[in-house]
Amino acid sequence: MAGFVAYGALSDDGPEVATGNQDVVVTQTEVPTSSPETQPVNPSTVAVPAPTPTALTVPNPAPAPAAAAVPTTTTPTATAVPTVPPGPAPTATPDPSTATVSCSGVPATADTDQTFGPLAAVTVPPEAAAGFQFTWNFGNDTLATSPVSGDISYAQAGTYTINLTGTNATTGATLSATCGTVTVAEVVATLQVACSVSSVDTQVELTAARAGDVMRVTTTWTPADVPLRLQYEFEPTDALIIIGPATTGDTQTNAFGSNDGVFSIFWRYVETGETGRLSCPAYPGSEPAPSPTAIPCTYATAITGCLSGS
């Protein structure tokens, strides 16, 4: 049986279309809608908007630091340095936790056997001295234990350094100080030379000795440790006697032919060049007695001669 399909049905018609066969139902198929074809884009014809510049936020600059004020420099005033007296300055090794110990008063030079001092220990603070025991070392193996050194002298020439040590009686800690250094020189004593005469025969007294008696002359001098060269001269016909070096107490003997015989002694100290001459009469007891003193005359008479008057 021939059939047909009716198109253009009204919008309110149902989807079923009569085909002449009521048993056949025709379902309307939805026609797909075609998408328009995409055309290629010509970049020359497409307007591209210019980019909008982005504004940058610039931070405000930091304020410049304020200039620091330069302090005014004051020129220091020169302080006069006190004049230091000649001689070695005392030095001290302090113990800041307790006290300091010092001493002074040592001369730069001295002669042998010359006395100086006494020296005294000084502590800072002063009241600390009561807690210390002080020992002095005089540089010649001599020690003294006392706050005061006492008188100081040296018998031999040399250089001596005097040191002081203070020992804390409670803690046992020690403080030391150098008081000074003294140079001691040997004293050159004035040379004293003398001679004396005695009789060799002990039975003959000096005052009774006469020409022909054997006499002894003794030469002595001080300082006794000085060596001298001696030259003895007796009578013109006697040979010279030379002793050198000689020691004090040197003796020579001789018998002279006359009462006015004399021992002549020439001495010389080679080290200094000092010289001298001594003359010792061999018979001092034979010297003539002094003449009596004449009494002046007040008036004279023919009988009595010179009379003294009152």
For the stretch 263-305, pLDDT in tens is 999 999 998 899 999 999 999 986 554 555 555 544 444 444 4
Q: What is the mean pLDDT of residues 40-45?
A: 52
Q: Can you tell me the mean pLDDT for 42-66?
A: 58
Residues 6+ apart with CB under 8 A from 65: none
What superfamily in CATH does domain 91-185 come from? Answer: Immunoglobulins (2.60.40.10)
Higher pLDDT: 208 or 76? It is 208
Place of tokens 């020129």: 75
| Distance between CA atoms of residues 86 and 106, nearest Å | 11
Write down the pLDDT at residue 144: 95
Average pLDDT over residues 186-210: 91
pLDDT at site 68? 60
Q: Predicted confidence band at 6 (pLDDT cuts at 50, 70, 90)? A: very low
pLDDT of residue 298: 47
- The mean per-residue pLDDT over the stretch 178-203 comes to 92
Band of the pLDDT at 200, cuts 50, 70, 90? very high
Neighbours of 91 (CB within 10 A): 13
**Looking at 36-45, 82-91, 101-110, 138-147, which range is the least confident one?**
36-45
Higher pLDDT, 74 or 224: 224
Q: Which residue has the higher pLDDT, 122 or 59?
A: 122
SS3 call for 287: coil
* 256-294 as b/e: b if 16+ CB within 10 A: beebebbbbbebebeeeeeeeebebbbbeebeeeeeeee
What pLDDT score does 31 carry?
Answer: 52
The pLDDT > 70 percentage for the chain reads: 60
At 7 the pLDDT is 46
What pLDDT shows up at residue 17? 44
Q: Residue 189's pLDDT is what?
A: 75
The CA radius of gyration of the chain, in Å to the nearest whole number, is: 69
Asked if residue 135 has pLDDT above 60, the reply is yes
Per-domain residue ranges of the chain: 91-185, 216-286
The letter for the amino acid at 146 is S
Residues 8, 28: Cα–Cα separation, whole Å:
12
Averaged pLDDT for residues 106-115: 94
Asked if the model's pLDDT at residue 191 lies above 70, the reply is yes
- If one counts every other C-beta atom within 10 angstroms of the C-beta of residue 219, the result is 24
**Tokens coding 51:** 């980019």
* Parallel, antiparallel or unpaired: strands 174-185 and 158-168: antiparallel
Q: How confident is the model at residue 80 (pLDDT cuts 50, 70, 90)?
A: low
Cα distance between residue 79 and residue 294, in whole Å: 85
Would you place residue 39 in the very low, low, confident or very high pLDDT band (cuts 50, 70, 90)? low
